[in-house]
């Protein structure tokens, strides 16, 4: 009887383990920003858009903007945090953003934009990172510390190809995207 109970428990454990979602492992391109606290009188916004809603938006866009729909179909997650800064949370929030930036660089993310602009009341500090291979962008992270105003963090996770961005840029007349150099399909690979 003891062996039967052990076998039943083992079979149950195996079936439960196999039922666990495969996405339990972190997805390439996804970044955990952690949690932020807003000051008592400060703005706080958190947006998490998962693939289901993105696929729904792609279906709506498909008839009018097929290139945009294709791009939306390849985005799996978008997270946006906007945290108003005041005396109660400024130091901790700025330290958290700087920690996220350091962690991205440590993990091999490529910093593609760095911008600092002194302004009355503080300095705007922007850093944008990308995780990609030769063919695909897996993730983009935008971090902004806006003088004394707010901190903004954005993470877009997906499987985005350069030719999708170029086509969308041409169609919507977005100059930086439309000028992406794409390999010709008839060119031989070396």
Closest residue by Cα to residue 178 from 161, 190, 166: 166
Distance of CA 33 to the CA centre of its chain: 10
Average pLDDT in the 2-14 region?
37
Q: Is the pLDDT of residue 119 over 90?
A: no
Confidence category of residue 111, pLDDT binned at 50, 70, 90: very high
pLDDT of residue 103: 96
Distance of CA 98 to the CA centre of its chain: 17
Dihedrals phi, psi of 51, to nearest 5 degrees: -60, -30
Burial code (b: 16+ CB inside 10 Å, e: under 16) for 3-22 equals eeeeeeeeeeeeeeeeeeee
pTM assigned to the model: 0.74
Confidence category of residue 40, pLDDT binned at 50, 70, 90: confident
Closest residue by Cα to residue 86 from 148, 145, 152: 148
CA distance linking residue 140 with residue 124, whole number of Å:
20
| Arithmetic mean of pLDDT over the chain | 78
CA distance linking residue 35 with residue 38, whole number of Å:
10
Highest-scoring range by mean pLDDT, 5-9, 69-73, 93-97, 144-148: 93-97
The CA-to-CA distance between both ends of the chain, in Å, stands at 66
pLDDT of residue 27: 86
Query: Which has the minimum average pLDDT: 2-11, 30-39, 96-105, 169-178?
Result: 2-11
pLDDT of residue 183: 46
Structure tokens at 113: 């934009």
For 90-107, the pLDDT digits (tens) are 899 999 999 999 999 999
Query: Which has the minimum average pLDDT: 6-10, 50-54, 85-89?
Result: 6-10
pLDDT of residue 149: 87
Highest-scoring range by mean pLDDT, 33-47, 66-80, 93-107: 93-107
pLDDT of residue 10: 39
Contact status, residue 75 vs residue 156, Cβ threshold 8 Å: yes
Q: Is the pLDDT of residue 33 over 90?
A: yes
Contact status, residue 153 vs residue 141, Cβ threshold 8 Å: yes
């Amino acid at each position: 009887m003891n062996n039967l109970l052990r076998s039943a428990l083992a079979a149950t454990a195996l079936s439960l383990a196999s039922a666990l979602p495969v996405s339990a492992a972190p997805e390439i391109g996804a970044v955990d920003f952690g949690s932020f606290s807003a000051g008592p009188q400060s703005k706080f916004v958190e947006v998490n858009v998962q693939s289901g809603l993105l696929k729904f938006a792609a279906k709506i866009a498909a008839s009018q903007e097929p290139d945009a729909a294709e791009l939306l179909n390849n985005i799996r997650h978008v997270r946006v945090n906007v945290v108003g800064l005041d005396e109660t949370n400024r130091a901790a929030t700025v330290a958290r953003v700087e920690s996220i930036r350091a962690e991205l660089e440590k993990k091999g993310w490529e910093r593609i934009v760095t911008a600092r602009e002194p302004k009355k009341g503080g300095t705007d500090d922007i850093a944008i990172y990308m995780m990609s291979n030769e063919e695909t962008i897996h993730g983009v992270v935008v971090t902004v510390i806006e003088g004394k105003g707010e901190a903004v963090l954005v993470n877009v996770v997906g499987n985005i190809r350069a030719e999708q961005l170029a086509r969308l840029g041409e169609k919507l007349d977005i100059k930086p995207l439309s000028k992406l150099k794409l390999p010709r399909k008839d060119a031989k690979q070396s």
